[in-house]
A = this chain, B = another copy of it.
Amino acid sequence: MIQINPVSQPSLVDEVAGRLRQLVESGALTTGDRLPSEPQLVKRLKVSRTVLREAIGRLEAIGLLTVRRGSGTFVANGESLTTATQLIRSALAISTHDLLKVAELRRCIETHCARRAAQFATDAEIADLQAHYQRMTTSAGLPIESVMKYDFDFHKKIAQLSGNDVLSGVLQVIQDFIYASIAQTMEQPGLPQAPHDLHLEMMEAIRARDPERAERAAAAHMDTVDARLKFVAKKSAQD
């Protein structure tokens, strides 16, 4: 059996995307520059506008270009870390859908962020965090989506206090993922919320500028999250 590697003929879209990418790589166009308009590119590249637009769309998806309706297409600034988080998002999406495994990833990030927050947070930021805590504790009677949102917001705020927007961005992706999974599989109430004591303990530890204590509190909180997920998993297994 001879190994025949299929002749992969690159599609026109890939061809055009590569050509445009080369424009940026070669330095002919740099951050902020405007590309020629679509009609002009169509004439120059001798392809249909459909193909050109799909190529531009892909380059925009990976963060290389930015399209502004009505004005034109521009070379994006490399600072857009959205591409990094988007990749993480993809990695999450195509991995297994075991919520417990995703929760473990969340644990990695939350404990680390709690520690960092205790190290770096300013007084103003801590006051802001307290405001988030207040909003969360007073959301008891609201619908489940609101309660979850305020809960997520509190954790997201701590992540932001770490000063690392990659970490907070990834945590956001994880939360979106968890929310999407939960919303689909089970909106049963009755599963116990994490006790606010632990949230309070996290906040107090950060306020006391005690990294070790903050990390322990975050870990304890994730223990309750794991326990809840296992509870739900067991329950759905019974059905």
Measured CB to CB, the residues of A under 8 A from B are 11, 13, 21-22, 24-28, 30-31, 50, 53-54, 57-64, 69, 75-79, 81, 83-98, 101-102, 104-105, 107-109, 111-112, 164-167, 169-170, 172-173, 176-177, 180-181, 183-185
Contacts and interface: CB of A to CB of B under 8 A. Distances in A.
Given A64-B91, A91-B172, A25 B79 contact: no
A27 B84 contact: no
5 contacts: A22-B180, A64-B91, A75-B94, A78-B92, A78-B95
Nearest to A21: B91
B81 A173 contact: no
Contacts of A87: 62-63, 81, 84-85, 88, 173, 177
Nearest to A96: B165
Given A24-B91, A87-B62, A104-B167, A98 B112 contact: no
B25 A91 contact: yes
Nearest to A166: B101
Given A63-B92, A90-B63, A98 B79 contact: yes
